[in-house]
Chains A and B, each alone.
Chain A
């Protein structure tokens, strides 16, 4: 069955430190992969997406993610975290079901940033 796993529920990093958020998926074909960010009480904002081509994808706010087919992973990275990056991050994979553009979302990783 198709699924997305974000193994870390909560991560705390110091401001200026590097960040890596993990995402593993189970999917029968080459997936489309997404990372979204959600600030408290807000909707989700797209950070980046992978459809095909270069496996290292650049996104907004200085984030990048690397698709590793052999590891079924799509980890999100940032070299230097800012206090404003504190939020919840969701990985998603698709399509699934009737292929109506449906995505499966992970349960999210909450990022806290220490000053």
Chain B
């Protein structure tokens, strides 16, 4: 199985400041990688997924962007945070390829925008 690392664990940022959340994966090569946001009572919202280096698909238009500079590194960014960007951000990894398989989740980052 894979191990997903995320940092930081918590983050408090002012409105209008930039954001960079990092996710790294151990235990597999060529994984599919995912960024989710979780809001209370709303389940998991898929934000971005990536099937390879430099390949990013966006599920929801928003103030955020993602990048995958290395095979096992996935970064979530924003140039200017909004209050509505507050939430719990989860990175997940799954086997590469076209079929669904188990996604393994990181511990998450709690982002508060003030």
Tell me, rounded to whole Å, the shortest Cβ–Cβ distance linking A101 to chain B.
5
**Interface stretch (choices A13-21, A38-46, A68-76, A78-86):** A38-46
Interface string of A38-65 (1 = CB under 8 A from B): 0001111110010000000000000000
Count of interface residues, chain B, beta-carbon cutoff 8 Å: 29
Contact B103 A103 (CB under 8 A): yes
Contact B43 A101 (CB under 8 A): no
- Select the residue from A42, A43, A46, A98 with max chain B CB neighbours within 10 A: A43
Alpha-carbon distance A41/B4, docked complex (angstroms): 16
Tell me the chain B residues, 9-30 only, with Cβ under 8 Å from chain A: none
Which chain A residues border B102 with CB–CB below 8 Å?
A: 34, 46, 49
Interface string of B96-111 (1 = CB under 8 A from A): 0111111111111010
Interface residues of A (CB under 8 A from B): 9, 32, 34, 36, 41-46, 49, 90, 94-95, 98-103, 105-108
A-B contact pairs, 5 of them (CB 8 A): A41-B108, A46-B102, A101-B94, A101-B95, A103-B100
